[in-house]
Every structure is written in C-alpha cells, then in structure tokens.
Structure 1
Amino acid sequence: MSSAYPQFPEFSLSRLLTTVFAPKGGERVAILIDLPDPRGVRDFAFLSDPAFPIQRKAYEVFYEGLKNGGLAELNFKGGDFFAYEITGGSNLDMSDEAYAPSGAKLSLAKDVYPNYDLILCVSTYSATAPLTAFAKQYGFRGATLHGLNDIILQTGLAVDYNEVSRQAEKLRLGMTKADRFEIDYEFAGRKATLVLETAKQEAQKSHGLCRGPEADIANLPAGEIYYVPAGAEGQFPMCYEDGTLGLMDVSGGRIKKATLIQGNAETIEEHNAKLQSDPVTGELGELGFGTQVLPVSGRDIQDEKVLGTLHVATGRSDHLGGKLTPDKFAVAKNATHDDILFSPEKTPGVVIPEVRMVRDGKTVVVIENFRPAPYLQALLN
C-alpha cells in the first residue's frame, strides 16, 4: 500500500457490522447475491464458476464469517443466503423471485424482506435504490456492497466508520445550504462548465452508519457528501464504457444532447436516441463529493468516495430524496441511477481545474485538479 494512504487495520466482519448497525441482539440477518440464473445458488454451485468473484466474496466473507462464529459473537440469528436474478443495470428494480441453497423458490417480498432485520446485498449492480424503498416498506435495515473486491475489503471496509462519519459531517457542515456549484472541465483541447443548482438544500452524507431506529440502507464503502440538484445548465464531458468521449449539453436539469468528441459515433447516436425516446434518462439526479483518503479499487463504489473526486449521476433519484421514480421512465430497464465519476484514474483525459461553491453571495473554491482546496482542508483539520 502506498505511503500516501493511512495504515488500514485488518478487515474484521464483526467490527464492520458492529460499527455500522450497532446490533441490538437477536436480530435476524440475511445475505443476498445476484446471478444470471439465481438457481445457481443451489448447493452453492456458483462457487465453481470463476465468473462470479463478487458473489464468492459474499459467501466466503459474509456467509462463512457469520456461520463460523460471527452469528454467536454478534448475537445474530439466521445468516441465510439467497440469490435473485441480476438486474443488468445500476439501481434497477429487482425481480421478486429468489432461490435458496436448498433449491427452494422464494419470494423476496413474502419470504425475505418481512422476516429479517438486517439484509446485506453483495451484488454486481447496485441495489441501493430498490432496497431502500423495500426497507421503508418492511422495516428492515441493511447494506449494499456491490462490486466487492479485495482492495475494498482491505481498505474501504476496514476503516472505522465512526471516524468516517465524523469527517463527513465536518465537510457536510461546510458545504450545506449552497446555492450552486460550478464545475470547470478541460478535455481534448476544449473547455466546458457545468452549473448545478442546489437551492440552499441541506447537504446529505453517506457515512456508513445505519443504526436505526428508522429503516435504512447503508451504501458501503461510504464517505461522500451529496445533493439532488434542483437544476443544471451548461456542458460536461462524459467517458462511455467503450472509451468514447462525448460532450453533454445540459439545460433544464437534463442532458438534452450528446456530441461526439472522439471514439465511436454509434455510441453517441444510441445515447441520443435514448434521450429522445425517454427524456428523464438524462436528468441529473445527484452531485457527490468524496470524503475519504482511500486507494483506487477499480470499482466506482469505492473510487467515488475518494477525497478530491466528484461525481454526477443521471436517472433515478428517489433513494436520495429526489422525485424521479421508476414509474416516470418510458421503459422500465431505463430506470437506472448511473454515477459519472471524475477522477484522475477513471477519466485521465479530463481535467477539472476548479470546482466552486456559491453560498450566500460568496464564491469559494472547493476542489482544484482533483485535490481538496484549502477551504475543504481547513474543514477537516
């Protein structure tokens, strides 16, 4: 591990679950995974397939960890394991059909959600939005840990979430009730600026603590300050999965059009077709800032929590307190919440010289070239 990072303690399942949930004793816990065919959970057959490293971590770290002493140590009950069908997109609604290792076919709504106090979802795609809705409906707490890998286990899940919460609160207090944020971009010899209106809303934090009494879902690793934008105008670059770079034109809080900068023209054409047929897919539903000093994991779930990075997201926002719910999309499979992360590793061709916060008539720089500006540094000291 680079000396630039703090010394991380050895991962402890007991410490993580104790810190995050503050167990009350006697709570029933379940583990969910996603598989292309959830019947592959029968007799844990998926473990023989190298295509499922995330699901293997769910079994080895959480299931075996609980069964081999964790349940007794934490005074939990259950530790049961279930699989549902992979959704294919970030925060898409989950199928109700699930399977147990016995081969039994179950209903999540009838057999799982009402019968467990804590649900841990270790999956390929994030299930935070749907599980947040179900948690409120059925009264359970839980955590989503999509994309789990060894780096995340050794760093982002090994930290003390009491300290993560304290640091996040310092930044939240220093950034809350902002009027707007202005983000400058430089890329491919061009410049652009995106302005996101936050309308003096109370900044929220993802800090990893989910101690009740209210039903809630923690997204782990945690560590960010976020807003649901009230509006957005301007332009910003977006790197697509195939490496294509496009310029997004934003007005009225939504991406209206994508223009090819470099790469595959078909990728841009497909995006524009989606924006035209289902306009809410372009809605900017989140602005987030990382709060932790962590190594890059190769997974956005951790890498967007790194101090100095920022992300905007398109689509569904109801799990963050926004108004864009799945029923407002023209096509169900489009009802995703997709984070667009800007960091030196994720977007090496994009530079962010400055991010400015405007609050009460004053403008202050919060990020410079993917590093916290003096204003943020002072908040953390």
Structure 2
Amino acid sequence: MLLPDYLHEDVMLNPETRKFPEFSVVKLMNTVFEPTQGCKVCILTDFDEPQKWMKGFAFLENEEFSVQRKAYEEFYEAFKNGAMEELGMTGGEMYAYYCTHGSNLDLRDEVFDVEGNQLSLDKDIYSNYDIVLCISTWSATAPLTAKCKEFGFRGATMHGMNDVILSSGLAVDYNEVSADAEKIRLAMTKADSIEIDFTLEDGRVLTAWLGLGQQEAQKSHGLCKGKTPDVANLPAGEIYYVPEDAHGEFPMKYEDGTLGVLTVKDRNIIKSTLIEGDQATIDAHNERLKDDPMTGTLGELGFGTQVLPVSGQDIQDEKVLGTCHLATGRDDHLGGDIVPEMFKKHENSTHDDILFAPHKTPNFDISEVRMKRGDQEEVIIQHFRPSAYIMNALTK
C-alpha cells in the first residue's frame, strides 16, 4: 500500500508544506456528525462576564476575544448564511458561559443568550440541542462528556481556535484521521508498558516507565457518527491510555520557561527539582503537590497520529505524529478513575496536558519511546520521529 502524500518523509519533516483543503463548516459537520439531518445545533463560548460580552455580540468590538470571534465568524455566521440549511439542521444559536480558568473544570450552570437573558445549561441547552459545539478559551471536554451521557447530545470541543487550526487541523478529512489513528491504535493496543527516555542538554537521560496493564488503547479520532452521545475533542488525532502505574523521572518546562525534573512514584508526581530557571516556580509546584497530591496523579499517556503544522495551541500540537504527552489530574472523561470529588479544591480538578514536542520543549529530546507487549518489544518514537514500526503500521 502506498503512503498518502502527507506521510511522505519530506512533508513529515516540514509539515507546514502539507496542502490542506479550504476549511468548510459543512464538510466538518457532515463528516464528524453524520447524520446531521434534523439535528438542532448550538454554539457555546466563554467569558469572565458572559452576560456583558454576549449581549448584542458586544465581544466583537474587543480584539481580546479572538477565539470567540472565530466561533462567531466561522460557525455562527456560516450557519446563518446557508450552512445550516445545507446540513438539514436547525438552531444555530450562540450562548456564553462563565470562563473556568482551568482545563476541563466543571462549568457553572448559568449561560446567557444574545439578548442578555440568563438561562440554564442543563435545562435550556443540554436538554434542547442534539449537537453542542463548544469553542472556548479553556477546554470543556471532560464536563461536556459527562453531560452528554446524562442528556443524550453529541458535541465537539474546539478550545483555543486560531487561523492555523482552522486551515489545517479542522480542514482535514476526519475519516482519514480516524483510519490512521486506528492503524496506530492496533499497533499499540494491549501494551504492558511504555518506557520514555528523555535526553537533557547536559547529557543526562531520564526515564519514565508507565504500566498499562494490557488495556485497550483508545483513540481520539474526531468522529461522532450516529446517535450515540459523545463529544469529540477537535482537532483530533491521537491514541491514548489511562496509566495504571508509573515511576521514574521526566523533565517539565513550566510556563515561565523554568525547567525541572519531576520524580514519579506509584503513578504520582511526588516532587519537582530545578534544572534551570526560577526556584520559586519549583517551590510553588512542590507546595501544590503537598497541599493536594491528586494534582500530581498521572491520568493520561497520549501519542499524536497526524501530520500537522505547529499551531501554538497544545490542542493541535499534541496530535502531531512523533510527539507524546502526559497529563495530570482528572481523567474520568477518558474512562479513568480520577474524578473532581477526589481533589481538595474544585479549582484543582483540572486535566493538564504536558506536551513533549520539538517546538515546545527544545531543551530536551525524546531519544526513544519503547513499548512492551508480552514478548514483543517495539520502538515507537526516536528523536520526535515515528519509528519504522509505526510507519509500517500506517501502510496496512
């Protein structure tokens, strides 16, 4: 089987050269949510003052709200200008809820319409719409996944949307994305363990071991076909596990650029040690771990399956083939056992991704990722590049 153009070596080395079709909300909705006929759709977004900024679309006058503007221009206006009729859908309304300021924190129930009226997410949105699109500042995948099972809707979360994401990660054919993700999933499912070697600039090699217990690998592939309640996290394109155990060390680059080494025992990060940067950043992390240990529990191990340009937003960049990511905290939306009630404080019950990618973590290299599955041992990634084993799986 011949590889598609986007998996050729020259494109994979320079993903910004990949040619994508023009973004089309009709194509995206038709592919992700087939069938759309007869479905009622709405758009959710977030603000610190949702009533103020949603009323009369006041946010359009403020350049600060770039994500919300994308939601309005690329989805709300497109729906009103013929896309909804073409899709056989109704609705198309846009609502705003209170910004959570944390990844995957539960949402307050209050929501506001364009006239400034206060409504209820449970009573007025989840109960009355078949498809809910959440285009927001912070990810709402976990709370919406829980709500879709309760109320029966389908949906998609698209936080951090920007022009790069629209022209690449949301312009792809999600049937192809799903097929590629499934090939890699089959190549890695039921693994006993994954080992990741990180090489630092000073030559040190840190190794993190994650026990997976032969679980079925899952995939985030962007399709919510049929009528089964589900929420897609877009852009999609990864396979992932919920770790059962973990130990070892891995590097961490904090938002302020500080580099630390995180020590893991029994699936939990127990301390951070400074490599370079601000010791106060390390101290703050250690204090948080001491105060609420659940914030250091590893809840996800994921691997990207797409060839995409860097967007500057982890939601797309973690889907790039050759990268991997860990996540701490809440993982109930992934089938895991970490739920919000287990945290000391509500604001701590986030799901926080730690992405390892050349643009994000240039201070260290993923020198090798190894999978053990029974007697089989395979290299998965070398130097942020998919191994021959993974590339062979993609040709099947």
TM range (shorter): over 0.9
User: Does 1:338 pair with 2:334?
Assistant: no
**Partner residue, 1:215:** 229
The CA distance in 2 between the partners of 1:16 and 1:24, in whole Å, is 11
The CA distance in 2 between the partners of 1:352 and 1:13, in whole Å, is 36
Matched AA of 1:282: G
The CA distance in 1 between the partners of 2:280 and 2:15, in whole Å, is 43
Matches within 5 A, 1:160-175: 160-175=173-188
**Partner residue, 2:154:** 141
The CA distance in 1 between the partners of 2:47 and 2:352, in whole Å, is 20
User: Does 1:352 pair with 2:361?
Assistant: no
**Partner residue, 2:309:** 295
Residue 274 of structure 1, CA deviation: 0.8
**Partner residue, 1:119:** 132
User: Does 1:259 pair with 2:312?
Assistant: no
**Partner residue, 2:7:** none
Residue 188 of structure 1, CA deviation: 3.6
CA contact (8 A) 1:156 1:221 kept: yes
Could you tell me which runs of 5 or more consecutive residues in structure 1 were left unpaired when the two chains were aligned: none
**Partner residue, 2:8:** none
Question: CA RMSD of the aligned region, Å?
Answer: 1.1
User: Does 1:95 pair with 2:108?
Assistant: yes
**Residue 238 of structure 2, aligned match among 202, 220, 224:** 224
CA contact (8 A) 1:5 1:293 kept: no
The CA distance in 2 between the partners of 1:336 and 1:246, in whole Å, is 21
The CA distance in 2 between the partners of 1:5 and 1:331, in whole Å, is 45
User: Does 1:53 pair with 2:66?
Assistant: yes
Matches within 5 A, 1:170-189: 170-189=183-202
The CA distance in 1 between the partners of 2:236 and 2:310, in whole Å, is 14
Secondary structure class of the residue paired with 1:221: coil
Kindly tell me: are residues 167 and 214 of structure 1, through their superposed partners in 2, closer, same or farther at Cα, counting changes over 3 Å? same
The CA distance in 1 between the partners of 2:57 and 2:375, in whole Å, is 59
CA contact (8 A) 1:296 1:302 kept: yes
Residue 372 of structure 1, CA deviation: 0.3
The CA distance in 1 between the partners of 2:94 and 2:35, in whole Å, is 19
TM normalised by structure 1 equals 0.99
User: Does 1:81 pair with 2:107?
Assistant: no
The CA distance in 2 between the partners of 1:360 and 1:366, in whole Å, is 16
Residue 26 of structure 1, CA deviation: 1.4
**Partner residue, 2:340:** 326
Residue 245 of structure 1, CA deviation: 0.6
The CA distance in 1 between the partners of 2:90 and 2:98, in whole Å, is 25
- Per-residue Cα deviation, 1:257-305 (whole angstroms, up to 9, x for no partner): 1111111111111111111111111000000000001100010000000
- Per-residue Cα deviation, 1:149-180 (whole angstroms, up to 9, x for no partner): 00000000000000111111000000000000
Report % sequence identity: 58
**Partner residue, 2:41:** 29
Residue 24 of structure 1, CA deviation: 4.2
Residue 378 of structure 1, CA deviation: 0.4
Residue 36 of structure 1, CA deviation: 1.2
Kindly tell me: are residues 3 and 38 of structure 1, through their superposed partners in 2, closer, same or farther at Cα, counting changes over 3 Å? closer
CA contact (8 A) 1:32 1:82 kept: yes
Secondary structure class of the residue paired with 1:242: coil
The CA distance in 2 between the partners of 1:362 and 1:218, in whole Å, is 32
Residue 3 of structure 1, CA deviation: 7.0
The CA distance in 2 between the partners of 1:4 and 1:270, in whole Å, is 37
Residue 5 of structure 1, CA deviation: 4.0
TM normalised by structure 2 equals 0.95
Kindly tell me: are residues 340 and 263 of structure 1, through their superposed partners in 2, closer, same or farther at Cα, counting changes over 3 Å? same
Secondary structure class of the residue paired with 1:353: strand
- Per-residue Cα deviation, 1:109-132 (whole angstroms, up to 9, x for no partner): 111110000000000110000000
CA contact (8 A) 1:141 1:212 kept: no
The CA distance in 2 between the partners of 1:340 and 1:249, in whole Å, is 14
The CA distance in 1 between the partners of 2:358 and 2:327, in whole Å, is 18
- Per-residue Cα deviation, 1:46-73 (whole angstroms, up to 9, x for no partner): 1111111000000000000101001100
User: Does 1:308 pair with 2:315?
Assistant: no
CA contact (8 A) 2:35 2:226 kept: no
Residue 205 of structure 1, CA deviation: 0.3
CA contact (8 A) 1:292 1:305 kept: yes
Kindly tell me: are residues 295 and 76 of structure 1, through their superposed partners in 2, closer, same or farther at Cα, counting changes over 3 Å? same
Matched AA of 2:96: A
Secondary structure class of the residue paired with 1:109: helix
Secondary structure class of the residue paired with 2:208: strand
**Partner residue, 1:242:** 256
